[in-house]
Structure 1
Amino acid sequence: MSKNLNASVAVLLPCYNEEVTIGKVVRDFKTALPNADIYVYDNNSTDRTAEIASSEGAIVRKEPRQGKGNVIRAMFEDIDADVYVMADGDDTYPADAAPAMVDKVLEGYDMVIGDRLSSTYFQENKRPFHNFGNRLVRDSINGLFHANVTDIMTGYRAFSFTFVKTYPVLSRGFEVETEMTIHSLNNNLRLFEMPIQYRDRPEGSVSKLDTVGDGIKVMGTIFRMIREYKPLPFFGGLGAILGIIGIVLCGSVTVDFWHTGMVARFPTLIGAVMLVIAGLLLFITGIILDVMAKNDRKAFIIDANQFAMMRRQK
């Protein structure tokens, strides 16, 4: 039971064809958080997901734009609460962990991450490429943002009101969880990781994940967000590579000129100079975009403070 019974809690369950498990998931969250509102957003299911969720007492709404990111965007826009708990409708996350996650948000954390990887994920998950992908994404993001987040891609999270109303959902699909984590690290938000007991889907429940396709989308999201959030290392690194290649080529032409007194490779010299100029332009681009990214972080802090003040006044 949560420590603060006066806080409003919303449980968010994005669903697509989860008739096998959605009834149990709704019942479990009703038991764990009896005062919470359970929202099931049906994302064009062709089975009885919406009907079963409604019969179990959930608030069912439709989201016609296909993709988990689109569903989460609609949820965050439509629903107001003090604390939000987001999970999947496939019965892979334990509802009994939700009260502790709610308490952490009420203590002041912006986002609580249900950490699968520290407990049973690698034993329960039967898809080896998913395990490899989780490790690759985790190590890449932690290295770039100097962080130590264990589970980057978990779908089990709790959020504060301010986080939900200031988070720009840009992704359309399953890469949205990665985007959330990068957004939080970039803006230095208060994160708390809570180990949870992950379990694989029950028999008869089919995963909607495409290992290769969704993996490419996740890596594309990381690439895009590094470009936007870390422009100086991104463009500066590219500029340094081009500049070094150009300088090496210029050096080889200079050595030839020193020995022969002639410039025998004009095309190489011209190309080398162009590479050096391109490297300098990329480095300058990185500096300009880095200043803009810092201004965006300042604007985000101002917006977050305004939402927090509005919430307290309300």
Structure 2
Amino acid sequence: MDKIAVLVPCYNEGKTIEKVVTDFKRVLPEAVIYVYDNNSTDGTAEIAAKAGAVVRHEYYQGKGNVIRRMFQEVDAECYLMVDGDDTYPAESAREMADKVLERNVDMVVGDRLSSTYFEENKRPFHNFGNSIVRWGINTFFKNDIKDIMTGYRAFSYRFVKTFPVLSKGFEIETEMSIHAIDKNMFVENVVIDYRDRPEGSVSKLNTYSDGIKVIGTIVRLFQTYRPLAFFGTVAAILMVLAIGFFIPVWITYADTGMVPNFPTLIVCGFVALASIQSFFAGLILQTMYRKNRQDFEMQLHDCYARKLEAEKKN
């Protein structure tokens, strides 16, 4: 088991990867630098190997797929994940790693949004999207993570080995944040300086398609982790619609004793039934969710036991 493992997912970062590896080797000389190449065509893997990194490959395209591979293959007391585009300063790595190693923090978030991100990033829709996502996650899940989508994070062994990677692409950061909140992990923020990509380095993010994926991920995870709130909201909306359409029918019946809009009455009944079904579906799923939380706590005990066994072998 490594003491500190620096994990660098890469796709065509040949212009910057050498500097990233060199910087982190300088700041964290005891760390092992792992570069996971995701089908790069610009020599990223070769450049990283020459710079002294341990180079591995993930051939299934997508950042989420790369992170799944990294988390499965690498064992360490502290994991530091950083993008290979040289937008995150290595100088913050020591502080982030120390929080994991000395304070038992499960996830340290490299907070760009509280420092230079909005000045350095030249894509206004990215700035707006980051703010919206941060507000949405912290509102729906009752937390105060300062930067939901940052690619600069430090993790504990138990976070990495209990995190189910479901997303395939860049929405993986959102999934990490929600997992940490939901599983009551110890999360801290470290303000970092952000710098935009150097000239010639191209972002792989698509503002609109990736933004839609992130929003879809938030909705999906809200349904998964807060089922009663999600289906309860759906139930309330359906019941309001049913009552809204039923009132005119009832007024007409009260005045004339007749129901001329009989199809509307039938639809109101079905919508009301759908509302009741949605509410009870939320109750059932909430019970299942609580059982999953209990199982997860037992999984944490098993994870800790495996860590102790690995440390004894070392």
TM range (shorter): over 0.9
Distance 2:159 2:179 in 1: 10
| 1:41-120 pair list within 5 angstroms | 41-106=36-101, 107-120=103-116
What is the RMSD computed on CA atoms of the aligned residues?
Answer: 1.1
Partner of 2:13: 18
From 272, 276, 280, give the equivalent of 1:284: 280
Q: CA deviation at 1:264?
A: 1.1
The count of aligned residue pairs is: 309
Distance 1:91 1:24 in 2: 7
* Structure 1: gaps (5+ residues): 1-5
Note if contact 2:17-2:86 (Cα within 8 Å) is conserved in structure 1: yes
Structure 1 counterpart of 2:206, one-letter code: D
Distance 1:21 1:54 in 2: 13
Partner of 2:184: 188
Note if contact 2:2-2:32 (Cα within 8 Å) is conserved in structure 1: no
Note if contact 2:79-2:156 (Cα within 8 Å) is conserved in structure 1: yes
Distance 1:49 1:212 in 2: 27
Distance 1:157 1:249 in 2: 51
Partner of 2:3: 8
Give identity over the alignment, percent: 57
| 1:216-255 pair list within 5 angstroms | 216-255=212-251
Q: CA deviation at 1:245?
A: 1.2
| 1:122-271 pair list within 5 angstroms | 122-271=118-267
Worse overlay, 242-251 or 229-238: 242-251
Q: CA deviation at 1:186?
A: 1.0
C-alpha offsets along residues 130-186 of structure 1, whole Å, 9 cap, x if unaligned? Answer: 001001111111110111111000000000011100000010000000000011111
C-alpha offsets along residues 82-126 of structure 1, whole Å, 9 cap, x if unaligned? Answer: 000000000000011111111100111100000000000000000
Distance 1:62 1:146 in 2: 37
Distance 2:217 2:109 in 1: 19
Secondary structure at the counterpart of residue 201 of structure 1: coil
Q: CA deviation at 1:7?
A: 6.9
Distance 1:256 1:118 in 2: 59
Q: CA deviation at 1:74?
A: 0.1
Note if contact 2:2-2:31 (Cα within 8 Å) is conserved in structure 1: no
Distance 1:302 1:60 in 2: 34
Distance 2:255 2:94 in 1: 77
Distance 2:119 2:301 in 1: 42
Distance 1:91 1:182 in 2: 26
C-alpha offsets along residues 192-248 of structure 1, whole Å, 9 cap, x if unaligned? Answer: 000000100001111111111111111111111011111111111011111111122
TM-score (structure 2 length as normaliser): 0.97
Distance 2:116 2:301 in 1: 38
Secondary structure at the counterpart of residue 8 of structure 1: strand
Secondary structure at the counterpart of residue 188 of structure 2: strand
Structure 2 counterpart of 1:189, one-letter code: M
Structure 2 counterpart of 1:68, one-letter code: K
Distance 1:244 1:220 in 2: 25
